[in-house]
């Protein structure tokens, strides 16, 4: 039975900051951000946009071509930027998508790795329930403290994937190389909006985990690196993926997979799947039947190397023009406005700002986040 990604779409903020602007205000050489780290822009989130509003937008797009939304009987929301330690962010998405009531909904957390755990769980579930579809949503907004080395690698996005039988985009293959180790390379205590990190340790552990998981994957699958036509890496910043690629093999499609990430910034759980979309949307030659390797890394840490085969006719399930427009139509914010967005989940919503999709965080009342369809407010 072929199981995998039947449709995929992403969303991000309506606003961005140029890293040139950040470099100017932080008195850094712009070349360090552009060449050294490999980033050009980062998505910046106004108070009325959060992991739920962008997740709804991505999920509405990904399910638009699903013939019957009633086939979706599980929704897994992968995030590490949750604002509620109890209620699942997925329940809001379930509500706005009007999915059936007997649909299991829950969140998963393990830094940037959780969407991969969700995808593998979805695969097993569909194998047991071939008529079911699972909606996997990965949504994260990454914030670091100002004036820290992490600041130019902020960003955020949501990716939604419908997982089912006979997928139109990519069939997941059976083998995975997995590696878990207790390491303090990146963490976010529950009382903080910004993540803390150990730069050098995080880069070291990422590359070490890549080695271990790739070796395990190759042993289990009995494949060689030459059997992989390209690799999508978790890309907290593009230079990280370039370093990873030097360590594994040189693949000619790498730069296509990094186009969206260089403009959005780190999107944590969504990042490796943003790379997949960027690869599929921006590679002119056909990738049908090509084997794509995936390296998923979540600090802390859990890493997994797995692969999938691109479906014949995958282009029909994608909307590259819409994806590109989503990024191109964002509005640049001046530096003082960027600074005013820095309170993260504690900011109060304001109708002054636009949302990317059809849902907005309208207000926070008695510590309850109240979301509304934008059409219902006008």
Catalytically annotated residues? 80, 112, 234
Place of tokens 């944590």: 268
What is 127-188 written as a DSSP string? Answer: HH-TT-EEEEEEEEEE---TTSTTGGG-EEEEEEEEEEES-SSEEEEEEEEEEE----SEE-
Q: Which residues contact 137 (CB under 8 A, 6 or more apart)?
A: 55, 58, 59, 75, 76, 77, 78, 90, 93, 158, 159, 160, 161
Q: For residues 3 and 37, which CB has a smaller minimum distance to ligand HMG in the complex?
A: 37
- The contact pattern for ligand HMG, residues 210-249, with x = CB under 6 A and - = no contact, is ------------------------x-xx-xx---------
Find the length of the chain.
378
Closest distance between ligand HMG and the C-beta of residue 156, in Å? 12
Closest distance between ligand HMG and the C-beta of residue 34, in Å? 8
- Phi/psi for 268 (5° steps) reads 45, -110
* Interface residue with ligand HMG, options 202, 278, 307, 360 (CB under 6 A): 202
Closest distance between ligand HMG and the C-beta of residue 208, in Å? 11
* Interface residue with ligand HMG, options 70, 181, 199, 346 (CB under 6 A): 199
Q: For residues 61 and 143, which CB has a smaller minimum distance to ligand HMG in the complex?
A: 143
Per CB under 6 A, 80 contacts ligand HMG? yes
Per CB under 6 A, 74 contacts ligand HMG? no
* Interface residue with ligand HMG, options 22, 37, 56, 214 (CB under 6 A): 37
* Interface residue with ligand HMG, options 54, 72, 74, 111 (CB under 6 A): 111
Closest distance between ligand HMG and the C-beta of residue 14, in Å? 23
Return d(Cα 234, Cα 368) in angstroms, integer.
Answer: 33
User: Cβ distance 2 to 167 under 8 Å?
Assistant: yes
Place of tokens 């393990």: 110
* Interface residue with ligand HMG, options 2, 100, 149, 246 (CB under 6 A): 149
Beta pairing class for 72-78 and 133-142? parallel
Binding segment for ligand HMG (CB under 6 A), chosen from 29-37, 66-74, 154-162, 165-173, is: 29-37
* Interface residue with ligand HMG, options 41, 63, 153, 154 (CB under 6 A): 153
* Interface residue with ligand HMG, options 230, 268, 345, 359 (CB under 6 A): 268
DSSP letter, residue 249? -
C-alpha dist (Å) from residue 324 to 127, 332, 365: 34, 16, 36
232, β-bridge pairs: 294
Binding segment for ligand HMG (CB under 6 A), chosen from 175-183, 213-221, 296-304, 331-339, is: 296-304
Total residues binding ligand HMG (CB under 6 A): 29
Per CB under 6 A, 305 contacts ligand HMG? no
Of 339, 355, 296, give the one whose Cα is nearest residue 108.
296
Per CB under 6 A, 79 contacts ligand HMG? no
**Residue of closest CB approach to ligand HMG:** 36
Per CB under 6 A, 117 contacts ligand HMG? no
Place of tokens 């191109």: 328
Closest distance between ligand HMG and the C-beta of residue 200, in Å? 7
User: Cβ distance 162 to 135 under 8 Å?
Assistant: yes
Per CB under 6 A, 36 contacts ligand HMG? yes
C-alpha dist (Å) from residue 150 to 76, 78, 117, 118, 346: 28, 22, 25, 27, 20
4, β-bridge pairs: 164, 171
Per CB under 6 A, 32 contacts ligand HMG? yes
Residues that bind ligand HMG (CB under 6 A): 29, 31-32, 35-37, 80, 111-112, 149-150, 153, 185-186, 197, 199, 202-203, 206, 234, 236-237, 239-240, 266, 268, 297-299
């Amino acid at each position: 039975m072929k199981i995998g990604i039947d449709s995929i779409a992403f969303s991000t903020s309506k606003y961005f900051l140029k890293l040139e602007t950040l470099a100017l205000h932080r008195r850094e050489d712009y070349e360090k951000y552009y060449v050294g780290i490999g980033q050009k822009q980062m998505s910046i989130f106004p108070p009325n946009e959060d992991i739920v509003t962008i997740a709804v937008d991505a999920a509405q797009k990904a399910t638009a071509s699903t013939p019957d939304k009633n086939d979706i009987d599980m929704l897994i929301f992968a995030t590490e930027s949750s604002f509620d330690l109890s209620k699942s962010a997925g329940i809001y998405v379930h509500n706005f998508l009007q999915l059936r009531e007997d649909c299991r909904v829950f969140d998963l957390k393990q830094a940037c790795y959780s969407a991969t755990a969700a995808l593998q769980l979805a695969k097993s579930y569909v194998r047991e329930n071939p008529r079911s579809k699972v909606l996997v949503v990965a949504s994260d907004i990454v914030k670091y403290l100002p004036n820290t080395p992490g600041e130019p690698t902020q960003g955020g996005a949501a990716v939604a994937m419908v997982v089912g039988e006979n997928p139109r985009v990519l069939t997941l293959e059976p083998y995975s190389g997995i590696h878990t180790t207790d390491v303090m390379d990146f963490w976010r205590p529950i009382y903080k909006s910004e993540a803390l990190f150990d730069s050098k340790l995080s880069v070291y552990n990422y590359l070490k985990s890549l080695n271990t998981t790739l070796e395990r994957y190759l042993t289990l699958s009995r494949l060689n690196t030459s059997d992989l036509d390209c690799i999508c890496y978790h890309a907290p910043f593009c230079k990280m993926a370039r370093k990873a690629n030097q360590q594994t093999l040189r693949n000619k499609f790498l730069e296509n997979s990094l186009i969206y990430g260089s403009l959005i910034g780190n999107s944590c759980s969504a990042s490796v799947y943003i790379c997949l979309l960027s690869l599929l949307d921006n590679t002119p030659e056909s990738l049908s039947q090509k084997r794509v390797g995936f390296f998923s890394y979540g600090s802390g840490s859990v890493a997994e190397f797995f692969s999938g085969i691109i479906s014949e006719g995958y282009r029909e399930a994608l909307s590259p023009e819409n994806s590109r427009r989503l990024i191109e139509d964002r509005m640049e914010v001046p530096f003082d406005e960027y600074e005013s967005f820095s309170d993260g989940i504690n900011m109060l919503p304001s109708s002054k700002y636009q949302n990317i999709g059809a849902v907005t965080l309208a207000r926070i009342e008695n510590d309850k986040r109240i979301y509304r369809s934008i059409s219902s407010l006008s």
